Amino acid sequence: MQNKTSILIIYTGGTIGMVHDPETGTLFPFNFDQIEQLLPSLKSFGFNLETISFEKPIDSSDISPAIWVKLAEIINENHSKYHGFVILHGTDTMSYTASALSFMLENLNKPVILTGSQLPIGTLRTDGKENLISSIEIAAAYKNGKPIVPEVCIYFENKLYRGNRTRKYNADHFDAFESPNYPTLANAGINIVYHYDSIHYPSQNKLIKIHTKLDTNITVLKIFPGINENVVSAILDAKNLKAVVLETFGSGNAPSSDWFINQIEMAIKKGIIVLNITQCNAGRVEMGLYETSTRLAEIGVINGYDMTTETAITKLMFLLGQELKKSELKQYLQTSIAGEITV
């Protein structure tokens, strides 16, 4: 690694990378090799900033596990060369990408900061400039020779979050993300204030190891009043289905109808994993607190505690890709691997 602080910026696509063509008024992707020309203030850091841009910028709606694998490989290949990494990404699926990378990058001990913007970086009122500048500063922040935030994070609108605790909740405002079940890792004002007690630090300095096998044979079943048996049956009978994220009411409650319980039980007996998470924006599943969740526990539904939907999905993809024994898979689902569950 170079003595001079070096940061690798990886541009995948998204609103932040767009600038206006002064002649046509249309938006086009910016060349991030010229980032210091667009933001001359970056030069005052004195950092070595290098960039990798995807050949074709990807709208975040088109993000797929193949992109997560590509990002993990880029970080792995460059892990020893840089002090930190900044990933520029569209906001719509940023929480999915951050969650996936938190599992795929085992033994990560450097900052990986995802950020983006609600307005293109080339517009006058953009939030992209502050998000990018602060993300670079956080990725470069070291204390006593060690990175201050050696995690996969999302930085947005003055707040640094653990990536696998986030969800996008606002499409109109600059504060697009929230982390309802875990405190911020840092807040940026006049100074960036780090909350060290909330940051995860590795107990041992091991070599980074990436996991690139992801299994996407999963689905989300969100229950609602009036959901009918034909719909549930069609979902649970999907070909090659291996796991279901069951979005339940409140603290993990579901309809007590015999047909519903029987459908879930039959799926579990076929070997399908059913993971219970709450539809609520905040809070956690407490199976057994009410009778309606007690029945789910009795038939083998797994408690997802306070995982977000984004994390539940990507964690299942990751664990299914490891080809674990069913007992191991269930154990890991209920264990905090990358700080995604409040234990």
- pTM for this entry: 0.94
Domains of the chain from N-terminus onward: 6-210 (3.40.50.1170), 218-333 (3.40.50.40)
C-alpha distances in Å from residue 59, one per residue of 92, 130, 317: 9, 21, 22
Residues 6+ apart with CB under 8 A from 51: 8, 9, 10, 11, 32, 33, 35
Which residues are 187's β-sheet partners?
A: 159, 193
Q: Which residues are catalytic?
A: 15
Could you list the pLDDT tens digit for every one of the 343 residues in the chain? 667 999 999 999 888 887 767 777 677 777 777 777 777 888 888 899 999 999 888 989 999 999 999 999 999 999 999 999 999 999 999 999 999 999 999 999 999 999 999 888 777 788 888 999 999 999 999 999 999 999 999 999 999 999 999 999 998 888 899 999 999 999 999 999 999 999 999 888 889 999 999 999 999 999 999 999 999 999 999 999 999 999 999 999 999 999 999 999 999 999 999 999 999 999 999 988 888 789 999 999 999 999 999 999 999 999 999 989 999 999 999 999 999 999 7
CB half-sphere exposure, 58, CA atoms < 13 A: 24
Distance of alpha carbon 273 from its chain centroid, rounded?
A: 21
